[in-house]
Structure 1
Amino acid sequence: MPALDGDNVTVMAALMDEVGEPGFPEKFLQTLRGIAGTDFCSAFQAEEDGSLTYLFACGYHSTIPGFAERASLDYARRYWQRDRVTRQMLNAGPGLAKVQVVRQAWNGIRDPEYRRDCYERAHVLERLTIYHSEEPRIFASLYRTRESGPFPLSAVERLEASAPLLMAMVVKHVRLQGRPPTAPLHPPQQEIAGRLLQAGFALSGREAEVSAGLLLGRTHREISEKVGLALSSIVTYRQRAYRKLGVNDRRGLEALYEGISRV
């Protein structure tokens, strides 16, 4: 089994310094990139009542803004009960080791809606998941896209070697942070709104903010609750933004934003 090289050990030490701090999720992703060439990562906590708490998600997709966060929130709200592999791992009982690494390919996911929304639409090829089978029942996943290719065997072996330490730091981070917030730790909405404001379409701040929420897949009601405006105001700002941007619907908005992001 290959050992971690000096650079990865240094990154792991830097990750330990971020345990309990706001910068931990991004540093965790940076560490996973060094170990396994990870494109995205996510972390969740399984609760006693059968629900799933979103902890964090990180990673940048070249054409789908906010994909890591959006897909992770969808997974926690809608799809995780359909994830047979994770449910089996979390309900396996005391026979397994405390920390396990499991590989899952996109085409091994049977549920078509879950597979489409969380994998196919962003060309996610596979995931590696680290499971912590004791309380708190936390699992963290690494993802690679078609562009990066599947995880090499050497990457899987490096992750298996470092998984106990990585999971110990995630568990410690969650305990130090206290109860995870229901909202994302690092929502990209303001970053997206800023790009729209700078793109030369003369959007107002509210128009850009509402557009950013739509790009993240949020409903009008979710945007209303997040920004503290009435539903009717959200509709008005959306209509004004679409008119200035020259688009007719959310698909047109996504295509326009993809062009902005490439520039």
Structure 2
Amino acid sequence: MRSWRLDRPSPSGQLDLSRATSLVTSIGCADSNAFAAEVLKLLGNAAGISQCTVFAYEFGTRPRTISVADHRGGRFLRDVADAYAKRFYALDGNQTIVSAASSQKSSVVLLHQQTSEDVLHEDYRAACYHRPNVSGRLSLLLQPSQGVWLSVNLYRDRRHGHFHQNEIALIEAYAPLIAQAAGHHYTLCGQIQTGIPQLMLTRVRGICPDLSRRELDVLCGVLEGRTAQEIGELMGIKPSSVVTYQKRAYRRLGISSQRQLFALCLAPGRN
């Protein structure tokens, strides 16, 4: 597992203008999966990539799936992405990088390489690497706005082994184009889905930075008006666990009810 900043990439190879044009055309497309599909077409054959997912990490909550594409088609990869967002995202190396990055908006693109061997959690490795038949992943991490990170994840087909250095160099060369396109796509499509509950959650995090990811996920569900059963289904945990996380979060915030949570979020003079 390793990560690095992409400061001044050294172009390698020739740009496929038709593929680049198709990628730009997919920005803001009504088909939510068109963007990931064009990224896959742009890099798939050249770098042995069989799957692409784009996630948005907004205000410290669990990731939201923006776009997915898989050579095999169907709902398979969408189901894998849902399992990742519900159960495994906190175990991902991407989370460590995003959490350690500055809270101020940065234009720098970060790259993170993670192989199946780097994933120690057996269920996570099985669900997101072995069953999808990938040997590893290279992620482009970017910050389109403060409090929001995007990850464009490129999954290496297992039959090709791990990424070779020349393939990584090719991805580095295309990374600025893909990152800019992903940021604009999020602004046009993904950001529209970011509602008042997520924005209120930003205020909650400012009041109590020590809230855990699980506690934030539960509070997000509460702010969205979901029941404990519904929150549990989204997170892949039992309703009783939802209630436990909710009570812990309320204690940290010095409140005891949903009404007080909304009052805290809406109180004037908070950052």
**TM-score class, shorter:** 0.5 to 0.7
Kindly provide the CA deviation profile for residues 214-237 of structure 1, in whole angstroms up to 9, marking residues without a partner as x: xxxxxxxx9xxxxxxxxxxxxxxx
Amino acid at match of 2:18: T
Structure-to-structure mapping, 1:140-155, within 5 angstroms:
140-155=152-167
Kindly provide the CA deviation profile for residues 184-235 of structure 1, in whole angstroms up to 9, marking residues without a partner as x: xxxxxxxxxxxxxxxxxxxxxxxxxxxxxxxxxxxxxx9xxxxxxxxxxxxx
Write the distance in 2 (CA, Å) between the matches of 1:88 and 1:49.
12
Q: CA deviation at 1:51?
A: 1.9
Q: CA deviation at 1:149?
A: 2.5
Kindly provide the CA deviation profile for residues 14-61 of structure 1, in whole angstroms up to 9, marking residues without a partner as x: 211221112333222211215523100001000114221111111134
Give the match for residue 19 of structure 2. 11
Q: TM-score, normalised by structure 1?
A: 0.61
**Unaligned stretches of 5+ in structure 1?**
183-221, 223-263
**Paired-residue identity, %:** 24
Amino acid at match of 1:92: A
Write the distance in 1 (CA, Å) between the matches of 2:141 and 2:114.
13
Alpha-carbon contact 2:144-2:183 (below 8 Å) kept: no
- The 3-state SS of whatever aligns with 1:50 is coil
Write the distance in 2 (CA, Å) between the matches of 1:34 and 1:10.
15
Q: TM-score, normalised by structure 2?
A: 0.59
Amino acid at match of 2:53: S
CA root-mean-square deviation: 2.7
Q: CA deviation at 1:178?
A: 4.5
Question: Is structure 2 residue 95 aligned with structure 1 residue 98?
Answer: no
**Structure-2 change in CA distance of 1:103 and 1:168 (3 Å):** same
Alpha-carbon contact 1:45-1:137 (below 8 Å) kept: yes
Alpha-carbon contact 2:98-2:149 (below 8 Å) kept: yes
* Equivalent pairs, count: 180
Alpha-carbon contact 2:54-2:150 (below 8 Å) kept: yes
Which of 54, 64, 71 is the equivalent residue of 1:53?
64
Alpha-carbon contact 1:55-1:180 (below 8 Å) kept: no
- Displacement over 4 Å in runs of 4+: 178-182
Write the distance in 1 (CA, Å) between the matches of 2:18 and 2:143.
28
Alpha-carbon contact 1:4-1:35 (below 8 Å) kept: no
Write the distance in 1 (CA, Å) between the matches of 2:140 and 2:110.
6
Structure-to-structure mapping, 1:215-234, within 5 angstroms:
none
Question: Is structure 2 residue 125 aligned with structure 1 residue 125?
Answer: no
